[in-house]
Structure 1
Amino acid sequence: MHQLLVLYPEPADRAAFEQYYRTRHLPLAARLPRVRASRFSLALDGAASPYVAVFEAEFDSAEDFAAAMASPEGQAVEADVPNYAPPGTVVLDFPVERLAGG
């Protein structure tokens, strides 16, 4: 499995960030092909974390992730990031290993 993880620090205008993210960016992300599962939270505890929001998407493989991001939908998602993401946003993708018994 392959994971995409996006961590968002506190934006200058949190209400504007959340409104744009929910109404513009997440609908684009929902169209990504080859996504096995995705989820997000806008309720991270800023006192315990430097991040206030997170997005996760799972893919069957690194190849599926690459194909999704190279697709027209993936290009639209990437092109939209500068429209709302605060400076310091972290985007990571990585292979995932399962724990035995988990």
Structure 2
Amino acid sequence: MVKLIALYKKPEDKEAFDEHYFNTHAPITEKIPGLRKMKVTKVVGSPMGESDYHLLCEMYYDDHESFKKAMKTDEAKASGKDLMGFAGELVTLMIGEEVDES
């Protein structure tokens, strides 16, 4: 599987960020065609103390082709536009492949 990973730094106003993220952004993102699963993790700390990060979101696609096709859709464009509007300076986006360790 291929994942689009969004890592968010701590926002100044966590309540306002969470309100927008969970009630506006996530529902837009969940509509992207080809998205198999979306997992959101709230960062609560680090073994080294306080973390600079607030959320991690993993969005799963079958393969690179499915991911590329999904990113061209109106739903993905709407998600990206919303993302840049409320968290453009906070987010780092990465593409990853799950590794089968067997």
CA contact (8 A) 1:35 1:58 kept: yes
TM normalised by structure 1 equals 0.88
Counterpart of 1:4 in structure 2 is 4
Percent identical among aligned pairs is 26
Structure 2 stretches lacking a partner, 5+ long: none
Matched, 1:26 2:26: yes
Which amino acid letter does the alignment assign opposite residue 44 of structure 1? V
Matched, 1:14 2:3: no
Counterpart of 1:73 in structure 2 is 75
Which amino acid letter does the alignment assign opposite residue 78 of structure 1? G
SS in 1 for 2:36: strand
TM normalised by structure 2 equals 0.88
Counterpart of 2:99 in structure 1 is 97
Deviation at 1:49, TM superposition (A): 2.8
Question: Compared with structure 1, are the counterparts of its residues 79 and 86 closer, same or farther at alpha carbon in structure 2 (3 Å cutoff)?
Answer: closer
Deviation at 1:48, TM superposition (A): 4.3
1: CA distance between counterparts of 2:73 and 2:88?
25
Structure 1 stretches lacking a partner, 5+ long: none
Deviation at 1:67, TM superposition (A): 0.9
Deviation at 1:77, TM superposition (A): 0.6
Q: Which moved more, 1:90-99 or 1:72-81?
A: 90-99
